[in-house]
A and B are shown apart, each in its own frame.
Chain A
């Protein structure tokens, strides 16, 4: 990626969330699926819509609109699940991103991608790599690794315990990892 940044242009997949236009580095995208039934996983934040079967594996699906606070992706003919590969530590992990629609693949001059504004954008600044312009439209270029980072998901999962009956249960403090015990 660093290399691309130095030389000319990069290719992006554009997708819509509500009225906003977003872009994802095409190299992160593995495939694009039509909407299928998502298996709900209880006690997860609402934007974690659940898992879908992608060739025999249960792949988590994130509702990007909810994640960004832009409402909720409703099922329409245009709804798509974009399967992305993200790096977590050293391992490659596969996640699905639920989007209202997927538009096109386009090329952006790297030097035309500006750093994100500190505030005022539709989405939290640290999810955004930059803002690009295509024709007369602005695109928010997503930082895929950040958007799907599991820390992010974990943190929010604790805040977002939706159960009305009890307070979120504090996780018993991990004493010491088992591996360390056995060294």
Chain B
């Protein structure tokens, strides 16, 4: 490091520690950061508790069923329970399985859409669409205002801090009358500004890193394999996003206007990236791809067969279903046994099959929306950053859409398990309980590539902004 830079840094440090207001601002944002971590963690912990509770309910339910096998059945209730446990004609719609998407350790830092979507479902063999659309209880006001999590502090508040520190990057010298003194030095003014920029970058980014790592460490061990890459990506994201804002402040300073002008312009940019652009994109996408859930609502109606006593009708329904599922078909005499239960099972499954197209259309429109908006993410590094953080913490829309797909598969496993026994008139045995369907969700491969792409866009914006500022500083006014 050459000597002039050392001197410059020393003076920056002196003026930094003397400015009580700046120190105060750093302390305030530190407090907000800690509060955000706490608030995010308490939200996610509440979700963890709910998950624990529902898992326990499921375990109790099934251990009751299993216990009913080896007990001497005495009371009527015990016999009823054993029927539910062993007879597929009861079991297929009584046995409840929970499909859960447990929060990633870092979901507490970027809650994303996790408060809006359901993260657990209880599924039985009944029509999937009966069970899919119920919401979690939530105060709509809270949903509207959104979460005070660490991603909010990083995406919204830190840029404001950067603006507050850097709006006088050049203009303060001019306004204090020290500019002329600097200009007669051997060091170029651009260099002085750059050193100052780097100095503030170091200070503010270190603070952000401190808060981020505080959050990362308290939310989950960062050196665990599944946390390491997210923790690194988080760090890289913060660096990229802050680079952009510092580059922007450098560009604004390069215009060599007054402090007030700089502050107004910087705030206007903040407003543009954090409020105006996303708000416009949201309202455009809502009107461009209109969606009405009213069509899906109809699927939740619990209709039954027209006349349950009409054997011909019941048989017809079963045959129609078996045409879709030939592997369940057996001889005619198999159908006659327990026909009502089969008829009802066939009926609700047919409903799913017939309404699948409607659901697919709806999901396709949602996909249209997200692919349209993601095309415009580059317009706002803030939107980009928010999305990247949500992706890192697995709280983005895409994760929940994958969850929906996994739910459908899981529901298929459940119906296969029970229907193969129901339609073949086989009881559920105690050992079958070891082969019960288990919910699984596969990891996607493209998660990190889209995180990388998002980061790339932010970095590119930062680089372009910086070089534009560098160029403007070169031109002598």
- The answer to whether A binds B is no
Q: Which chain B residues have a beta carbon within 8 Å of chain A's beta carbons?
A: none
Q: Which chain A residues have a beta carbon within 8 Å of chain B's beta carbons?
A: none
